[in-house]
């Protein structure tokens, strides 16, 4: 691992977190603000925006989506950042918890 900038602080940070346990909290929600045209690219189109939070949560939990048939995509076909999140969590063996803070559609999985 290469530390950029302040090497002493970087080494201290690594030492401090080396034996720590982590938990990833994924908080999902929905707001009507996302319905304003052009404000978000979360969802292939306006109808899919409401499915993005639960589908991302389901993908992180199961490795596939239950609310929709595929992973969420942007209007121009880019896949959800949940792909990278899942890979990072799995590679670091970090457990996760899903918190539904007002999603328009509830995810099909255990959540708080």
- Note whether residue 1 is domain-resident: no
- Note whether residue 106 is domain-resident: no
- Note whether residue 110 is domain-resident: no
**In terms of residues, how long is the chain?**
112
Which domain range does residue 92 map to? 18-100
**Which H or E run contains 28?**
strand 24-28
In the chain, the number of structural domains is 1
Averages of pLDDT over each 10 residues, the chain, 112 residues:
88 89 96 86 82 96 95 90 96 96 94 84
Q: Which of 41, 100, 105 has the alpha carbon at shortest distance from 75?
A: 41
CA 86, CA 37: separation in Å to the nearest integer? 29
- Note whether residue 105 is domain-resident: no
- Note whether residue 112 is domain-resident: no
């Amino acid at each position: 691992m290469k530390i950029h900038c302040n090497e002493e602080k970087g080494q201290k940070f690594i030492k401090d977190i080396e034996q720590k346990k982590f938990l990833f909290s994924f908080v999902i929600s929905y707001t009507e603000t996302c319905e304003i045209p052009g404000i978000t690219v979360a969802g292939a189109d306006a109808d899919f925006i409401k499915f993005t939070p639960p589908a991302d949560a389901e993908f992180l939990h199961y490795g596939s989506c239950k609310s929709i048939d595929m992973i969420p995509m942007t209007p121009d076909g880019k896949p959800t950042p949940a792909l990278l999140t899942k890979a990072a969590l799995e590679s670091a063996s970090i457990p996760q918890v899903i918190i539904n803070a007002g999603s328009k559609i509830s995810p099909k999985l255990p959540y708080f």
